[in-house]
Copies of this chain bind each other. A is one copy, B any other.
Amino acid sequence: MMIDELPTPALLFERAPLEANLKAMADVLPGAKLRPHIKAHKCSELARRQVARGHETFCCATIREMEVMAASGLGEDLLLANEVVDARRLGVLSTGGARITVAVDSDDTVDAAAAGGVPEVLIDVNVGLPRCGCPPEDAGRLADRARRAGLEVRGVMGYEGHIVGLASREERESGCSESMEKLVAAHRDVGGDVISAGGTGTFDCNGWATESQAGSYALMDTAYAKLGLPFEQAVFVLATVVSVSATLAVAACGLESLGMDHGNPEVMGGKLWFCSDEHVTFAPSSPARVGDRIRIVPAHVDPTIAYHERAYLVEGETVVEEWPIDMRGWGPA
């Protein structure tokens, strides 16, 4: 099938930059040095491409993602890098043969992991981002509690999410250093083999972590593009121009196919005016015609992907594969 035959809006993964991104990352962080974050693409077929590049350990953000990964035969070593209050669905996955680890940052979540039948945990440490994670000085105590509850404590995790998007590499490096000092200190109290941290923005400047949780690198977005990283844009939303006036054109694709929290997307071949539910209004760089197909570059990859049922892997004008976005949603799969 050719791209022109696709119903739009359509989520496109461009094969060449996607493969280049996977290779560039595997060159710097081979094998288990990278634990790719699944939330950035929610696509088991893309995860298989990451396995083909040597990564067999994965991070997830939701229990649904963990379930679909396990059901897809990708349960070699799955980390739910979030806390959960009810871990029973994770316990079921463990019983089913997947290796399941969950983040814990409180007595409650330690107890939930134990009660739910999850065998292994990481102590999630707050390294500066005001979100989850225990205070670094509490990590050792939590690890003790977890071990007393019969849990295997594999180590620590801490996400320097307040750092990964900083435009200046120097600031990312110094911020990362400051955050990782906290994580390493916590790790001394916790023990275990794992120091899990980092994202695409710090993939090559976090020398403290034993593994990076980068995910966006595979597909990229306009926010990460500003950082000058060695990854290319590989995801686009294809839309059809349905209306043209003297100065503007309108394509049928909008707020329900684009994550908007990082601001407006970019229109290739035009300047965006605004997005509506199922429209983007833009000023085309050259005269547009009804029926033209344009590409839109998402500002934030994760919440963009979550709107789409499937992605089309494309090369030139050809659709080479259709990949379900099979890890959306939250309840039991």
Contacts and interface: CB of A to CB of B under 8 A. Distances in A.
Interface residues of A, number: 60
How many copies of the polypeptide does the oligomer hold?
Answer: 2
A243 B107 CA distance: 10
Interface in A268-304: 273, 275-279, 281, 289-291, 300, 302-303
Interface stretch (A71-79, A90-98, A142-150, A248-256): A248-256
Interface string A295-320: 00000101100111110000000000
Contact of A302 (B126, B242, B256, B279): B256
A242 B330 contact: no
B7 A330 contact: yes
A281 B130 contact: yes
A25 B329 CA distance: 32
Contacts of A260: 259-261, 303
Interface stretch (A15-23, A80-88, A178-186, A227-235): A80-88
Contacts of A84: 242, 252
B302 A248 contact: no
Given A7-B331, A126-B245, A240-B85, A106 B256 contact: no
Contacts of A244: 106
A75 to B, nearest CB: 20
A155 interface: no
Contact of A290 (B62, B109, B255, B261): B109
A307 B309 contact: no
A161 interface: yes
Contacts of A252: 82-84
A319 B240 CA distance: 40
A221 to B, nearest CB: 12
Contact of A277 (B108, B303, B307): B303
Interface centre among A39, A83, A277 (most CB of B within 10 A): A277
